[in-house]
């Protein structure tokens, strides 16, 4: 939940979105620098001014647009999901506009989908089918079929047909039946009853870019802005709109517009593309070169009679690995085989850590050792055993990394991992840093934030038994001012958030004892006890089945929870909640949990289903689809459907959202396993709410298994 995700910020609305986008803009986004590249319109999608075009951005492009027109704002996040399919999430504000009170600002969320039916050819135009604001209240609801053709370098012509918002002027006819005029009451529900229904209008436009920087645009718009005119927001005097873009070398765009013959508009767009950024790193020092053995040295076993050789090799390997930030916890040395147990706190690309350890082994181990077995360990759990031949390292150092991958085995490390050396544990680490918790989409105040100081600590009692905690002190904020009436008819498992914020100062975010294990081959386990998150304490147990070479995994989690006191210190409170509006009491069940299935489809797409019982006692499933990149970037969406009706859930109808993972190494230029997880969630509600416990297994385990390790194998020799 936004505000309860440690290290996670939900970023959507104007101020929050711009902060994220300014980070994205720090890196070059598009390799395309010609004047023919697509521009984005006031809706933050490929288009002219208000009207869409059939242009498509490069695959995996992320674009963020902040647009202003006549007092209204539109903040849009656009993602090119696949080469032909794109989606947009938009958050808009319109002053003096409300369905009942005309002097109130209306805040509106909307989603778009676009699909390119035809790509542009020598004589054939590009053809795109689009659904605009097809989920929710439908304020900007409209569908379109649009074609765009490049006539000459920099010169493009566009024409299309529009329904809904895009059929307000000079109507050409009627679509497939009548179109409902009223707004839908249920957010997040596709407005399928409107698709391609009602009047049809035509729109057209022309753009000309004389060079890479400037682009001039004119369009004949079919959107008459009737809802806004009816409420006195705009006074439309013309169907002709005019625009001017200035495009920066990194792909960013600044635009000015004259719209409706009466309004002035402007927009600014940042773009980035995780697909073309490469795997983070490059500023770090180079790894050690492979030390090639002298001819015949591999047959010398004299070292096996020297009791000091193993200790000397262990010391040398540990020192060489430490220069790369890798921790060697133990080394088992045999006459022709060495098994090393490592921790990788530095490299986000697992293959880079493996490659550096392997090269260090060639420089520190006796010449007779031919087989290297590297076992990365996370929270005491051996993830996999990466097995290589020393002679392959010697022969292939200057070849493509794929050649080395073809000769490397990645197998389960269960039962073959040496214990850590004596004296390494216990370990203690701590940190003090600022924190921020955001709440978004409250119609009374779209952005609320708490900010303060967080102190965190961790004691690794043994490799797999970890005591950890976090304490926050709020310095400023307004999350405790959320006073909007609650429409949920479920137990208040999350909607007491304002009171937790108000009374929890200082607050113990979590204080847990976690135990991790490998109970069997291909099986991983976790048991977490204590104050699990800001609102709940208790016990959480999880087991995961994940073969090391498989794209598929299964997991199960069961939780026994007790509601924490509002001050978020050491006490608990009743599991019976009271609706402040109606006085109705509802009980929160103590037990919840899920079974989960995970699958990597290939081409970077990953799916996850979590089915079971949620905190409020509702039963259902969360479906998540992510597009993942080898450099650690992820872009995804999720939706949760339970047996709680839309009416019982309240505003928003069901839980859904977008999520992004941005590796900090992309901006640092040096290796790092740190990342920023951003969740754009519709609202904090009770339905579909899940316990927010640390240390879930799947993301820890998959990094070092073959499907994921292979994605970053290009950095094995780096």
Q: Evaluate whether 523 touches 413 at the Cβ level (below 8 Å).
A: no
Q: Evaluate whether 365 touches 291 at the Cβ level (below 8 Å).
A: no
Is 150 domain-assigned?
Answer: yes
Token pair 């004892």 is found at: 513
The percent of residues in the chain predicted with pLDDT above 90, rounded, is 64
Asked if residue 178 and residue 83 are part of one domain, the reply reads yes
Least confident span in 95-109, 129-143, 243-257: 95-109
CATH code at position 308 = 3.30.300
| Domain end among 361, 395, 423 | 423
Asked if residue 437 and residue 416 are part of one domain, the reply reads no
As for how many domains the chain has, the answer is 3
Mention every residue, 6+ apart, whose C-beta is less than 8 A from residue 282: 669
Is 665 domain-assigned?
Answer: yes
Pairwise CA distance, residues 257 & 267, whole Å? 8
Phi first, then psi, for residue 46 (nearest 5°) are: -55, 120
Instruction: Give the Cβ contact number of residue 136 at 10 Å.
Output: 23
Here the tokens at position 6 are 């440690």
Give the per-residue pLDDT at 372.
Answer: 97
Average pLDDT over the chain, rounded to whole? 88
Asked if residue 457 and residue 408 are part of one domain, the reply reads no
Is 3 domain-assigned?
Answer: no
Is 285 domain-assigned?
Answer: no
Give the per-residue pLDDT at 282.
Answer: 59
Distance from chain centroid for Cα 285: 29
Asked if residue 308 and residue 230 are part of one domain, the reply reads no
What angle in degrees, to the nearest 10, is found between the helix axes of 309-322 and 350-364?
140
Mention every residue, 6+ apart, whose C-beta is less than 8 A from residue 608: 596, 597, 598, 599, 622, 623, 624, 625, 626
Q: Which of 131, 127, 158, 129 is nearest to 142 (CA)?
A: 131
Mention every residue, 6+ apart, whose C-beta is less than 8 A from residue 285: 323
Is 199 domain-assigned?
Answer: yes
| Domain end among 423, 454, 474 | 423
Give the per-residue pLDDT at 17.
Answer: 37
Burial (CB count within 10 angstroms: exposed 0-12, middle 13-18, buried 19+), residue 173:
exposed
* Range with top average pLDDT, 21-25, 150-154, 512-516: 512-516
Asked if residue 388 and residue 432 are part of one domain, the reply reads no
Residue 598 pairs in a beta bridge with 553, 608
Give the per-residue pLDDT at 655.
Answer: 84
CA distances from 404 to 115, 342, 386, 439, 615 (A): 40, 20, 12, 48, 47
Is 280 domain-assigned?
Answer: no
What average pLDDT does range 103-129 have in this prediction? Answer: 91
The more confidently predicted of residues 199 and 23 is: 199
Asked if residue 240 and residue 146 are part of one domain, the reply reads yes
Strands 199-208 and 155-163: antiparallel
Pairwise CA distance, residues 390 & 394, whole Å? 6
Give the per-residue pLDDT at 136.
Answer: 67
Give CA angle at 348 (343, 353), nearest 5°. 50
Asked if residue 237 and residue 138 are part of one domain, the reply reads yes
Domain that holds residue 668: 427-462+464-708
Asked if residue 648 and residue 531 are part of one domain, the reply reads yes
What average pLDDT does range 623-630 have in this prediction? Answer: 94
Asked if residue 436 and residue 419 are part of one domain, the reply reads no
Asked if residue 561 and residue 660 are part of one domain, the reply reads yes
Give the per-residue pLDDT at 478.
Answer: 82
Instruction: Give the Cβ contact number of residue 493 at 10 Å.
Output: 29
Is 7 domain-assigned?
Answer: no
Is 253 domain-assigned?
Answer: yes
Q: Evaluate whether 531 touches 511 at the Cβ level (below 8 Å).
A: yes
Residue 76 pairs in a beta bridge with 65, 90
Give CA angle at 8 (492, 76), nearest 5°. 95
Residues 123-170: tens digit of each pLDDT: 999 999 999 998 867 788 999 999 999 999 999 999 999 999 999 888
Pairwise CA distance, residues 414 & 381, whole Å? 9
Give the per-residue pLDDT at 337.
Answer: 95
Strands 445-462 and 465-477: antiparallel
Asked if residue 593 and residue 581 are part of one domain, the reply reads yes
Asked if residue 218 and residue 258 are part of one domain, the reply reads yes
CATH code at position 44 = 2.40.160.40
Pairwise CA distance, residues 522 & 545, whole Å? 6
Distance from chain centroid for Cα 708: 17
pLDDT at residue 512 greater than cutoff 70: yes
CATH code at position 704 = 2.40.160
Residues 408-456: tens digit of each pLDDT: 999 999 999 999 999 999 999 999 999 888 777 766 677 788 899 999 9
- Identify the band that residue 652 occupies on the pLDDT scale cut at 50, 70 and 90: low
Instruction: Give the Cβ contact number of residue 499 at 10 Å.
Output: 15
Give the per-residue pLDDT at 236.
Answer: 87
pLDDT at residue 6 greater than cutoff 50: no
Pairwise CA distance, residues 396 & 717, whole Å? 10
């Amino acid at each position: 939940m936004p505000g309860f995700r440690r290290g996670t910020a939900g970023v959507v609305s104007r101020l929050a979105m711009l902060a994220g986008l300014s980070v994205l803009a720090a890196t070059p986004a598009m390799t395309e620098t010609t004047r023919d590249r697509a521009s984005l319109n006031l809706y933050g999608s490929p288009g002219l001014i208000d009207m869409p075009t059939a242009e498509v951005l490069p695959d995996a492009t992320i674009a963020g647009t902040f647009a202003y027109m006549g007092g209204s704002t539109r903040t849009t996040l656009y993602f090119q999901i696949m080469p032909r399919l794109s989606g947009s999430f938009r958050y808009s504000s319109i002053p003096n506009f409300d369905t009942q009170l005309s002097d109130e600002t209306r805040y509106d969320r909307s989603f778009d989908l676009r699909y390119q039916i035809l790509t542009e050819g020598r004589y054939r135009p590009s053809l795109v089918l689009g659904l605009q604001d097809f989920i929710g209240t439908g304020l900007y609801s409209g569908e379109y079929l649009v074609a765009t053709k490049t006539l000459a370098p920099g010169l493009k012509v566009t024409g299309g047909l529009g329904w809904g918002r895009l059929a307000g002027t000079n109507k050409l006819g009627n679509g497939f039946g009548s179109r409902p005029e009223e707004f839908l009451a249920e957010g997040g529900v596709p407005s399928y009853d409107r698709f391609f229904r009602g009047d049809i209008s035509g729109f057209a436009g022309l753009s000309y870019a004389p060079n890479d920087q400037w682009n001039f645009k004119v369009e004949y718009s079919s959107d008459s802005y009737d809802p806004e005119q009816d409420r006195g927001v705009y006074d439309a005097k013309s169907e002709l709109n005019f625009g001017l873009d200035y495009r920066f070398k990194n792909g960013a765009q600044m635009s000015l517009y004259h719209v409706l013959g009466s309004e002035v508009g402007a927009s600014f767009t940042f773009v980035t593309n995780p697909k073309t950024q490469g795997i983070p790193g490059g500023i770090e020092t180079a790894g050690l070169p492979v030390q090639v053995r002298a001819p015949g040295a591999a047959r010398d076993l004299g070292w096996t009679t020297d009791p000091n050789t193993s200790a000397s090799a262990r010391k040398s390997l540990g020192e060489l690995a430490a220069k790369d930030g890798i921790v060697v916890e133990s080394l088992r040395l045999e006459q022709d085989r060495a098994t090393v147990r490592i921790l990788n706190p530095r490299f986000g690309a697992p293959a880079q850590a493996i490659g550096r350890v392997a090269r260090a082994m060639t420089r520190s181990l006796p010449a007779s050792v031919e087989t290297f077995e590297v076992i990365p360990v996370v929270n005491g759990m051996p993830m996999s055993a990466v097995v290589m031949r020393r002679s392959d390292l010697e022969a292939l150092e200057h070849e493509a990394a794929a050649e080395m991958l073809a000769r490397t085995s990645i197998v389960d490390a269960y039962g073959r991992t040496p214990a850590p050396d004596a004296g390494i544990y216990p370990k203690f680490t701590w940190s003090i840093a600022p924190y921020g918790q955001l709440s978004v989409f409250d119609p009374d105040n779209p952005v609320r934030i708490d900010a303060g100081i967080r102190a965190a600590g961790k004691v690794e009692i043994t490799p797999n038994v970890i005591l950890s905690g976090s304490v926050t002190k709020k310095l400023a904020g307004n999350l405790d001012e959320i006073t909007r009436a609650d429409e949920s008819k479920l137990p208040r498992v999350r909607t007491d958030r304002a009171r937790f914020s108000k009374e929890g100062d200082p607050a113990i975010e979590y204080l847990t004892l976690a135990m991790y294990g490998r109970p069997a081959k291909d099986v991983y386990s976790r048991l977490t006890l204590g104050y699990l998150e800001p609102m709940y304490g208790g016990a959480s147990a999880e087991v995961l089945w994940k073969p090391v070479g498989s794209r598929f995994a299964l997991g199960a989690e069961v939780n026994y929870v007790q509601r924490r006191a509002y001050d978020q210190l050491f006490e608990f409170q009743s599991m019976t909640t009271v609706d402040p509006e109606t006085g109705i009491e509802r009980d929160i069940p103590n037990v919840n949990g899920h079974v989960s299935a995970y699958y990597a489809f290939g081409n970077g797409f990953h799916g996850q289903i979590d089915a079971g019982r949620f905190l409020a006692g509702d039963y259902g499933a969360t479906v998540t689809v992510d597009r993942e990149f080898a450099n650690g970037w992820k872009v995804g969406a999720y939706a949760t459907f339970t047996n709680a009706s839309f009416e019982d859930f309240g505003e928003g109808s069901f839980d859904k959202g977008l999520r992004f993972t941005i590796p900090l190494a992309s901006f640092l230029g040096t290796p790092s396993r740190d990342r920023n997880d951003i969740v754009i969630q519709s609202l904090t509600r009770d339905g579909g709410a899940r316990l927010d416990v640390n240390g879930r297994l799947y993301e820890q385990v998959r990094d070092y298994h073959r499907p994921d390790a292979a994605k970053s194998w290009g950095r094995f020799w780096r």
